[in-house]
Structures are given as C-alpha cells and as structure tokens.
C-alpha cells in the first residue's frame, strides 16, 4: 500500500512540474477526534543546512512540503493548544524526485506563557491591585516588549533570579537597560512568575483567554497557501537581523552585531564580516546598492555610515556625522495600549542617530534618523536637515525624491518629501493624525505607480499618499490591535506587512482593497522590515529566534497539487 501511495503521489507531482527540482514530503494531519486538522504548521528542517521550510495543512488536513533539496530531514507538526504525535519524525532521507508520506496526529495540549503574542500577553498578564506594582507591569509592557515579548520568560524565579536574567541581557550587550527599569521589571515578574505565585501554569486557565484565543479553524483557505523558509545564523546574541536585503546577484545581506552577513539562500551558507570594533556597535540596517558593488551600514548609536565593498570584502573608514543639534522630545514607540499613547515616558533616547539608508539617482546616501541627512559619496560630507529632526522609514521614488516618515519624536508626525537635487523639504500631514500617535508613519515605501505607502503603526492602518493630488487614502487593517511594523511591496504592488503585537502576516491588494491575513509560525519574530527579491520572495527577520527567512505564496500548480491529494 505504501508503494502504491508513493507511485500515485509521484505521478501527481510530476504532472504539475513539482518533482523536477528536489523531493517532496506530504501527508495528513488529524485532530484528537480523527478528523482532518486545518491550519497546522508542518516544518521540515534540513539536518545539514538547518534551513526550515514551513507549510500549513489545508481544510482536509493535507499538507505538501515540495521542492526540497536532497538530504536528511527532521519533520514535525504543531498548532497552538495541541501537541503532536509523534512529536517529531527524524532522519527522514529524501532523494531528488522522491515523495515521502508522513502523517501526524494532534492531541489536546496546553498553551505556555512563552507562546503568547505581545497582544495576548498585554491582555492576560495579571494586573496587580496596588498602584506601585501596577506601574511595574506598565514598565514591562512599555520597555521590555520593544525587543521581545513572552518568549524569554519561561521560568519561575524570585526577584533575584529575574534580576540576574535581566542582567545577562545587559552583560552580553543586547540591551542597555537602566537599573530602575530592571528593578521594576524584576519586581513585577517575581510577583506573577515567582516560586509561590498564584499565576496558573498555562494562560488557558484564565477566563480572559477566550477573548484572545486564535482558532485554527478561523483562517480562510487562501490564508493557508503561504510558505515560510527560514535560516539559522550564528546564534550570537547581537546577531539579530530585523530583515533581509536582497542584492542584484541573489544574495541576502543582514545587519549583524558590529557588521553584516551575506546569506546564500540556495545553500544556507552564511558569511559574516565584522568592523574592527570590539564593542560590536548596533547596526540598524544594511543597504545593498543597485549595482551590487557596495553595502552601506547604518551604525545607529555612533550616528555614522560605513561602506562595505562586496568585491574586496573590506570596509571603508567609518563616516561619522558630527551633528550635535537640538534633540527632539521622544515618546513611546512600541506599546499600543491607551495608557502609553504619547505619555511622558521616552522609550528610546534622543541622541543623534543614523537609522535606515537609501540612495538617490546620483548615488548619494540618504539616511533617516536624528536628523534626516544626505551623505555625498564624492566629498564624504554630510548635509543635515534640522527642520526634519527625527525620521524613521525612508524611500526614494523614480524622480529621485526622498520620502521619510516622522515617527519617534513627540512633536513631529508628518510624511516628508525632499527634492534630492534642490534639498527642498515639503511636509504632509496624514488626515488621522492626533495626540494619541495615530497617523504617524513608521515605515515608508514607494510603489511602481509612484504612490507612497506608510505603515501607520499606532493607527493600525496602511496609508497611501498620492503625490500628484497630494491626498491620502487609509486602508484599515482588520483584527485586534494591528501594529504594522515591517512593510514591503511585491512586484504586483501588493502591500505586505507584519503586525508587531499580533504577529500575523498580512497582504493588501490596493486594487480591490482586500486584506488577506496569514498565520505566522512564530509567536513573536520582531520583524522590522520586508523586502522582495527577484524571485518574488518576501524577506523578513525573526529577531527573537536569531533567524532570517522569506515567505511566498504557492503557485497555482502547487495549490492544485495540494487540493488533488488523495
């Protein structure tokens, strides 16, 4: 029977052209009652390269992981509130053109606190009755959640234990945590996740859990046609890229601690290059130039740029911006809850910084940050724009205009246009801008029609600006507390986004106004930006698991193959 099954499946996949490049793993996922299980994640990890391909089971419980490179694989299934039987199938040998059938059964399990999204945690974390401890909870939500959510909290400990865990983050250099913040966070964590805490071992035991539960049956059939592939990096604490940046040769460039890395997406090989700086300064983003000769790095806290020569694989000298002008007031940049909107707590500093880079048609480098700046590649000199004191996302259009979003400063929340030839600055105010941070553009991208897209993080919108009519159009993202952080455009001008707090992946078709949201295999990935490569793959960073990856939609042939599976 197994041979007959394999022969049938090989014939099916060959008929739609899927067996020509690699092998396939396929099977059925069933629930506790033996019925087909919809929207389970199935992961296939190549033991040699550590590349993981992730797909979803359809409404009939069928899944297909196709076009896998020959090799040995570990395969497992997962879904929130369930555990897999078997937990994992290991040492699966796969040859070119081979089809391997693997079935899994999911049994009822428990959700762990570490599996909650930021949104779920913000609702479910116990609220102390006393005012001091309530403020400690607010400190946790407003400060710690900027880098990670619940994934780092899988333990029970007293205050000293939590203080030591926080101290480790400071020691390895992944976070510069103020002592008073560390003390308040440790106090709260010890009260709710201490040895004698009354907090239940699973949030499923809380009555509020039903209000934030994600039902696997609730996803549309279209939402199950997404494929994720992610890659293992160095595992070092500072090597946590927020995105991947494709170059003209098909390589993916990543920001790393004190340097950058080049990923070969076909083999999974990662080559790391470090600046000659033992402190490994924070690199906010990298920017490969269109000709493939250079990759520019933004050294955030040093307020500097540095160029990496891709041919010699050497760094130029660091070009530090000497700007030391007025520092704009900062505000909350992460927590979407009402009590944090535009309050007096600055979650980030106000010192000059270099954030994200683009190139204008002349090859000069423009960088968002404090303030917006232009770096002349011939003179090696900066031009700063003090009337644009703080920007976040940045993009360039076909005419060479620079577009940037004012986001982190309390008193600056407009979309900015700069003529790269004349340096003339024009600002536009989104119609929903208010004192609760709504409307402030975080990421900024320009599509092939010249429309400027903004990720309205706090408003929960994707906002389109038409430079010809100077008008905005707002597309409201569905679901609770949408927080679009990573945003990118595909070759069809669809807008992709990742919601920072709910950790869903979304796509907007601007022509129809239709949103499609896709399940994410990561409880929290902290994706900061999205970029499409020449193959139509959307690259993302998964900071909290120290990986980078891409997502794509199945082709019609692939979808037909899954649908026709017996």
* Integer CA distances (angstroms), 12 to 6, 24, 558, 560, in order: 10, 11, 11, 10
166 within a domain of the structure (yes/no): yes
- How do strand 283-288 and strand 304-309 relate by DSSP bridges? unpaired
Instruction: Render each residue's pLDDT in the chain as its tens digit; 566 residues.
Output: 333 333 334 434 444 444 447 999 999 999 999 999 999 999 999 999 999 999 999 999 999 999 999 999 999 999 999 999 999 999 999 999 999 999 999 999 999 999 999 999 999 999 888 777 788 998 888 888 888 888 877 789 999 999 999 998 888 777 778 899 999 999 999 999 999 999 999 999 999 999 999 999 999 999 999 999 999 999 999 999 999 999 999 999 999 999 999 999 999 999 999 999 998 999 999 999 999 999 999 999 999 999 999 999 999 999 999 999 999 988 888 888 877 876 666 666 789 999 999 999 999 999 999 999 999 999 999 999 999 999 999 999 999 999 999 999 989 999 999 999 999 999 999 999 988 889 999 999 999 999 999 999 999 999 999 999 999 999 999 999 999 999 999 999 999 999 999 989 999 999 999 999 999 999 888 999 999 999 999 999 999 899 999 999 999 999 998 888 87
- Residue that terminates a domain, selected from 49, 77, 108: 108
Residue with tokens 């979808």, as numbered in its chain: 559
**Residues 79, 103 within the same domain:** yes
What φ, ψ does residue 34 adopt, rounded to 5°?
Answer: 85, 0
117 domain residue, yes or no: yes
Round to whole Å and give the CA distance between 167 and 178: 10
Does one domain contain both 76 and 16? yes
Write down the pLDDT at residue 80: 94
Report yes or no: 507 and 494 within 8 Å, Cβ to Cβ.
Answer: yes
Peptide bond into 520 cis (omega under 30): no
For residues 442 and 416, the answer to whether their CB atoms sit within 8 Å is no
Q: Is residue 92 one of the residues assigned to a domain? A: yes
Q: 67 with 162, same domain?
A: no
- Residues 87, 122 within the same domain: no
Collapsed DSSP state (helix, strand, coil) of residue 183: helix
pLDDT at 474: 98
Residues in the chain: 566
pTM (2 decimals)? Answer: 0.94
* 64 and 89 both lie in a single domain: yes
Cite the beta strand spans of 38-119 per DSSP E: 41-46, 52-56, 62-68, 71-78, 82-85, 89-94, 99-101, 104-108
* 183 and 89 within one domain: no
Q: Is residue 525 part of a domain?
A: no
CA distance 184 to 192: 13
Residue with tokens 């699966």: 92
Domain final residue, candidates 212, 236, 269: 212
Same domain as 77, residue 96: yes
Number of helices (H), then strands (E), belonging to the chain: the values are: 7, 38
Domain CATH number, residue 68: 2.60.40.10
What's the domain count of the chain? 2
The radius of gyration computed from the CA coordinates of the chain, to the nearest angstrom, equals 24
Residue 504 Cα distances to 118, 172, 313, 401, 527, angstroms: 11, 30, 37, 32, 11
Q: What are phi and psi of 419, to 5 degrees?
A: -75, 115
One domain, residues 151 and 203: yes
Q: How many angstroms separate the CA atoms of 392 and 412, rounded? A: 11
Determine, yes or no, domain membership for 29: yes
* Contact of 268 with 232, CB cutoff 8 Å: yes
Structure tokens at 545: 């698991």
Q: Give dist(CA 2, CA 330) in Å, integer.
A: 63
Q: Note the pLDDT of residue 134.
A: 82
The DSSP annotation for 362-378 comes to TS-EEEEEESEEEEETT
- For every residue of 116-180, DSSP letters joined together read --HHHHHHHS---SSHHHHHHHHHHHHHGGGT--GGG------HHHHHHHHHHHHHHTS----HH
Tell me the CA distances in angstroms from 427 to 448, 459, 495, one per residue in order. 22, 19, 23
Structural domain containing residue 134:
113-212
Residue 418 lies in a domain: no
Q: Indicate if 189 and 134 belong to the same structural domain.
A: yes
For residue 62, what are its two tokens?
């069928």
Residues in Cβ contact with 205 at an 8 Å cutoff, skipping those fewer than 6 apart: none
List the Cα angle 339/343/349 in 5-degree steps: 125
Structure tokens at 538: 């959307």
d(CA 431, CA 446): 19
Edge-first strand listing for the sheet containing 259-263: 245-246, 252-256, 259-263, 270-274
- Helices 179-192 and 159-172 cross at an angle (nearest 10°) of 140
Same domain, 73 and 137: no
pLDDT attached to residue 16? 42
Indicate whether 349 belongs to any domain: no
Domain boundary residue, one of 159, 184, 212: 212
Long-range CB contacts (within 8 A, 24+) of 562-565: 562/58, 562/62, 562/63, 562/64, 563/58, 564/12, 565/9, 565/12, 565/26, 565/60, 565/62, 565/64
**Nearest of 39, 44, 35, 31 to residue 57 by alpha carbon:** 39
For 512-523, letters b (16+ CB in 10 Å) and e give: eeebbbbbbbbb
Q: What is the largest CA-CA distance in the chain?
A: 75
Instruction: Identify the CA nearest to 520 among candidates 121, 41, 119, 52.
Output: 41
Strand-pairing partners, residue 95, are none
CA-CA distance, 273 to 252, in Å (whole number)? 14
145 within some domain: yes
| 125 and 160 in a common domain | yes
Q: Enumerate long-range contacts of 315-324, CB under 8 Å, 24 or more apart.
A: 315/273, 315/275, 315/276, 318/275, 319/375, 319/380, 319/382, 321/352, 321/354, 321/373, 321/375, 321/382, 321/384, 322/382, 323/352, 323/370, 323/371, 323/373, 323/382, 323/384, 324/352
pLDDT value at position 10?
40
């Amino acid at each position: 029977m197994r041979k007959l099954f394999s022969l049938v499946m090989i014939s099916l996949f060959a008929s739609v052209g899927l067996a020509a490049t690699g092998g396939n793993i396929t099977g059925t996922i069933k629930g506790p009652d033996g019925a087909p299980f919809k929207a389970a994640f199935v992961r296939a990890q190549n033991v040699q390269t550590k590349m993981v391909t992730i797909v979803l089971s359809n409404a009939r419980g069928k899944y297909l992981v196709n076009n896998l490179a020959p090799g040995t694989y570990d395969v497992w299934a997962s879904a929130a509130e369930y555990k897999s039987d078997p937990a994992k199938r290991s040492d699966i040998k796969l040859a070119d053109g081979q089809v391997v059938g693997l079935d899994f059964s999911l049994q009822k399990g428990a959700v762990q606190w570490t599996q909650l999204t930021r949104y779920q945690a913000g609702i479910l974390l116990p609220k102390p009755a006393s005012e001091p401890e309530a403020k400690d909870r607010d400190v946790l939500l407003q400060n710690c959640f900027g880098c990670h959510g619940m994934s780092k909290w899988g333990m029970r400990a007293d205050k000293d234990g939590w203080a030591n865990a926080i101290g480790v983050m400071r020691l390895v250099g992944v976070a510069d945590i103020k002592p008073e913040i560390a003390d308040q966070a440790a106090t709260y964590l010890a009260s709710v996740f201490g040895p004698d805490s009354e907090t239940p071992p699973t949030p499923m035991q809380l009555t509020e859990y039903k209000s934030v539960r994600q039902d696997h049956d609730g996803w549309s059939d279209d939402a199950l046609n997404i494929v994720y592939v992610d890659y293992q990096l160095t595992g070092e604490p500072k090597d946590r890229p927020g995105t991947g940046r494709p170059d003209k040769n098909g390589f993916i460039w990543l920001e790393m601690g004190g340097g950058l890395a080049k990923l070969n997406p076909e083999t999974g090989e990662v080559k790391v290059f470090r600046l000659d700086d033992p402190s490994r300064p924070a690199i906010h983003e990298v920017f490969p130039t269109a000709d493939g000769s250079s990759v520019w790095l933004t050294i955030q806290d040093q307020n500097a740029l540095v160029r990496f020569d891709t041919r010699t694989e050497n760094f130029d000298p660091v070009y530090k911006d000497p700007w030391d002008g007025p520092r704009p007031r900062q505000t909350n940049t992460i927590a979407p809850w009402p009590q944090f909107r535009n309050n007096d707590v600055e979650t980030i500093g106000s010192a000059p910084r270099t954030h994200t880079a683009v190139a204008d048609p002349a090859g000069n480098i423009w960088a968002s940050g404090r303030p917006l700046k232009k770096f002349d590649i011939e003179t090696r000199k900066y031009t700063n724009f003090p009337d644009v004191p703080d920007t976040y996302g940045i993009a360039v259009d076909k005419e060479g205009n620079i577009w940037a979003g004012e986001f982190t400063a309390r008193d600056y929340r407009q979309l900015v246009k700069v003529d790269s030839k004349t340096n003339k600055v024009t600002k536009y105010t989104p119609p929903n801008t208010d004192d609760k941070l709504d409307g402030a553009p975080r990421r900024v991208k320009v599509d092939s029609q010249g429309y400027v897209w903004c990720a309205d993080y706090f408003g929960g919108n994707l906002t389109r600006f038409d430079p010809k009519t100077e008008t905005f159009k707002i597309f409201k993202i569905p679901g609770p507390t949408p927080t679009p952080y990573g945003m990118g455009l595909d070759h069809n001008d669809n807008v992709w986004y990742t919601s920072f707090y709910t950790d869903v992946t979304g796509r907007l078709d601007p022509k129809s106004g239709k949103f499609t949201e896709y399940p994410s295999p990561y409880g929290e990935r902290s994706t900061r930006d999205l970029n499409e490569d020449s193959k139509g793959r959307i690259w993302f960073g998964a900071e909290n698991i120290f990986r980078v990856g891409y997502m794509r939609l199945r082709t019609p042939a692939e979808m037909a193959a899954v649908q026709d599976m017996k």
